[in-house]
Structure formats: C-alpha cells, structure tokens
C-alpha cells in the first residue's frame, strides 16, 4: 500500500506499507549533489554528508552509530550528482528511533571546526583511494569529455584543493541554501502503522522551516564530442565510450535500458559474446545508461590490453553500428522484456531497495512509480518504440570517449591526433 503526501512545511513524503516483512527502511533525500556546486566549492555536498555523522548537540558520533547498530540496524548515506540520501534500515519496532536519529543529524549537527579539520584528512584519503581506482578515474574523466565545464561534470568528492578550503561557515551557508523541505523527500518502506505515520513525521520534521526557498533547477547541457586520455601506470587500458541517452523520467527510459541490456548487459549480450567470447580481447565489457535531469548518456566500458585497443575499439564500434542498423526481431524483444521485468522485480526484494526506488521517483518526478506501473511500461514496449529510441541513441554512434592507461600513442593514431591529454 502506497501513500504520497506533504507535511505542512512542504516536505514530500512517500510511504509504502509492506505487512509481510519485519523491517523498515527510512531515507531522507535532499535534491542536492555535486551538480549544484561550482569549481570553488566542488565536493562540499559530499563533505556535508560526512559531517552529519560527526555528532549533534545531544549525541556524539559514536552514539549516533550505536543507537542504530545496537538494535541490529544499519545507518549510512551517499552523495550523487543530483541527490544526497541519509538512510536507516532497522526492525519495524525501531521506526521512531530511526526518525529521531535522522532528524537529530539534520537539525542539530555540530559542525565543529575540530571535526571539520579531521574530516578533511579522511576525505583527502578517500580521493587518494579513488585515484588508485582506474574505473573511478575513468568515470570522472568521461563526464568531463561529455559535459566539459557544466557543473554536472564536477567530481562528487571534489578536489584536494577545494576540500582543504572548506570551513564551518561555508558549510552552514550551503546547507541554508539547499537543505530546505521543498527540496526534500522522506521515503519509508516496510512494516509500520499507516494511521500514525503522518503524525510521527510531523513530530520529527514538521518544524523544519527555512527562509530560503532556493528550489533546485538544473541546466540542459549539450553532449560534447571530446575524447580524453589520463595517464596511469597500470597494465590495462580502461575505456569508456559514450552515445546519446535520455534524461531521467523520459518515457523512453525502459526501452533504452532494454536495448542497452541486449547490446552489453550481461554474458549473453552482443558485446560480451563478440569482444570477449569470440575475439578474446578483454575480460570485462558492458554497457549501461546514466539518466539525469535534462540529459543522459549510454556508456560502454571495457578493460583490455593496450596492444589490443585498436582492434577492440574498432570491433566495438562495428557491433554498435550493426546493432543500430539491424535492430532486433520480435523474438529478441520478447526475451529482453522478460529479462528486464525479472531483473527489476528481483531488485525490489528488500525494503531498502524499495525505499530507494520510491524516494528517487518522488524526488525527481514528483510521483510514485509502482512495480505495476513499471511492468506496464515494459510490457508496452513495441517495435515502433524500439526503432524510435534506436534513432535517437545508438544510430548516432559513439560521440565521446575517455581512456585511462600508460600510453596514448595508439589512441592518437586512432583519433587522428584529436585525443586530449588530461594528465595532472
């Protein structure tokens, strides 16, 4: 049973009551992420996420963690391009405790200068860890190739320079700008009393009021045709190839996911079968979609021997071209729809995954996408829609790319000198 309502202060709430479980997941979603930042405060959203766990006027950082972990629950958070989410999963008997902890973190966090200075070291190490991961470096590099100077290309973690520049006033001013009820959603999924839920939420979040009414709005960035390289002393060459996608909430989303699955979604996909199984050019290769407000991209990732890169890239481009030209037949469409429905339903078998799905849907689309709605949309995919989406995406071909590895000479040859080095 679903319900979507607003508190008196404008805070949106989505609840899903699941009687047959004994857990409940609660998420506090803020429509704010790295896309809201600029070059001088890049990473501040992620830093603020860390600081909300560092103690309040009534609880130490340890007491926040213990309050949930001592009852067998889990507490965590994440920051993305467009949203920050703080969440707790616990037994259904601890719903009020979960709301108490999240509201305490939101309204009463200390942001002490001492803790801020300590956390700078922690986050700088997180940046170092990300730098040691070629895949992480590749993702940030490819977003630069796709959107260049638009704020959507800024790294979620920020940079060493920006992180070291943050202070208490900067963070509190930033919170005043974006942490407002009108920009936020509470998502609850699991077992709870539907009759008392609104009263309980008013108790913990009803007094949330801000003078600022800076409702988040995002640009509509152009997809660019850049090809970037970053040097890393590693054995493999990691590549990411980009094609046009769709924005979040677009009616073509499920059709595009279906097509991406056929092209590179698993061991039976075209790319896996051709590039890995038949040609033996790589161990890992897959495609996936990234959908944001007003923009989207389809990406193909592969990690391979640099000596095989030219052959592999040509083969990938050929598979994409063949896929776009030949399309799929009705039998493949039916199989792909069943696969997509199966993976979707299996992905909703926990209260936390349902809380994430509902919160994200209300945050960005202001509506609930129930499993029934999603399955109906998948069932409605037909050949006309497949061909229409193919025209707008895969038929455009690879328009941008990023590479992380030792050498770029071969890439220069492949791109006729148009590859740009982004070495630090």
* Phi, psi (degrees; rounded to nearest 5) at 90: -150, 175
Q: Where are the beta strands (DSSP E) in 259-320?
A: 282-292, 295-304
- In this structure, are residues 343 and 266 in contact, taking their beta carbons and an 8 Å threshold? no
Pairwise CA distance, residues 334 & 338, whole Å: 6
Tokens read off for 394: 């895969």
- In this structure, are residues 245 and 287 in contact, taking their beta carbons and an 8 Å threshold? no
Pairwise CA distance, residues 315 & 413, whole Å: 16
- Residue 234 CA: distances (Å) to CA of 61, 134, 230, 282, 402: 38, 8, 11, 15, 16
- The CA-to-CA distance between both ends of the chain, in Å, stands at 52
CB atoms within 10 A of CB 389: 23
Annotation marks residue 49 as catalytic: yes
- Which of 399, 390, 213 lies closest to 317 in space, CA to CA? 399
Pairwise CA distance, residues 263 & 255, whole Å: 12
- Residue 251 CA: distances (Å) to CA of 92, 143, 153, 256, 321: 35, 24, 25, 10, 24
> Is residue 6 helix, strand or coil?
strand
Pairwise CA distance, residues 222 & 294, whole Å: 10
Strands 237-244 and 420-421: unpaired
- In this structure, are residues 67 and 101 in contact, taking their beta carbons and an 8 Å threshold? yes
Which one of 16, 31, 37, 49 is the catalytic residue? 49
Strands 295-304 and 237-244: antiparallel
Pairwise CA distance, residues 256 & 296, whole Å: 11
* Phi, psi (degrees; rounded to nearest 5) at 13: -130, 130
Q: Which residues have a catalytic role annotated?
A: 49
């Amino acid at each position: 049973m679903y319900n979507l309502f607003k508190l008196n202060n404008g805070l949106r709430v989505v609840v899903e009551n699941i009687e047959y479980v004994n857990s409940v997941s609660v998420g506090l979603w803020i429509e704010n992420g790295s896309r809201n930042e600029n070059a001088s405060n890049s990473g501040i959203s992620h830093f603020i996420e860390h600081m909300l766990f560092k103690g309040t006027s009534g609880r130490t950082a340890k007491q926040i963690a213990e309050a949930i972990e001592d009852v067998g629950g889990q507490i965590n958070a994440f920051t993305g391009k467009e949203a920050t989410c703080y969440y707790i999963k616990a037994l259904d008997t601890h719903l009020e405790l979960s709301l108490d902890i999240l509201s305490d973190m939101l309204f009463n966090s200390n942001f002490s200068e001492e803790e801020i200075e300590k956390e700078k070291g922690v986050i700088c190490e997180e940046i170092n860890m990300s730098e040691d991961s070629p895949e992480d470096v590749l993702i940030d590099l490819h977003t630069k190739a796709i959107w260049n100077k638009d704020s959507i290309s800024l790294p979620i973690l920020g940079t060493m320079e920006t992180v070291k520049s943050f202070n208490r006033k900067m963070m509190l001013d930033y919170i005043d700008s974006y942490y407002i009820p009108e920009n936020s959603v509470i998502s609850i999924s699991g077992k709870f009393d539907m009759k008392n839920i609104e009263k309980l939420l008013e108790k913990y979040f009803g007094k949330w009021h801000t003078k600022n009414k800076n409702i988040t709005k995002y640009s509509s960035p152009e997809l660019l045709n850049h090809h970037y390289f970053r040097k890393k002393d590693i054995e493999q060459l990691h590549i990411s190839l980009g094609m046009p996608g769709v924005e979040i909430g677009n009616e073509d989303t499920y059709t595009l996911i279906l097509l991406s699955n056929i092209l590179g979604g698993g061991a039976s996909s075209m790319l896996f079968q051709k590039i890995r199984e038949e040609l033996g050019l790589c161990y890992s290769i897959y495609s996936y979609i990234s959908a944001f407000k007003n923009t989207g991209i389809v990406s193909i990732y592969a990690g391979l021997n640099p000596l095989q890169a030219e052959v592999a890239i040509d083969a990938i481009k050929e598979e994409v071209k063949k896929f776009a030209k030949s399309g799929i037949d009705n039998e493949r469409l039916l199989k792909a729809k069943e696969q997509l429905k199966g993976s979707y339903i299996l992905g909703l078998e926990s209260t936390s995954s349902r809380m994430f799905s509902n919160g994200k849907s209300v945050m960005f689309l202001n509506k609930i996408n129930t499993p029934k709605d999603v399955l109906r949309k998948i069932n409605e995919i037909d050949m006309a829609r497949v061909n229409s989406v193919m025209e707008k995406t895969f038929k455009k071909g690879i328009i941008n790319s990023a590479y992380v590895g030792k050498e770029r000479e071969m890439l220069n040859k492949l791109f006729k000198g148009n590859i740009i080095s982004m070495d630090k």
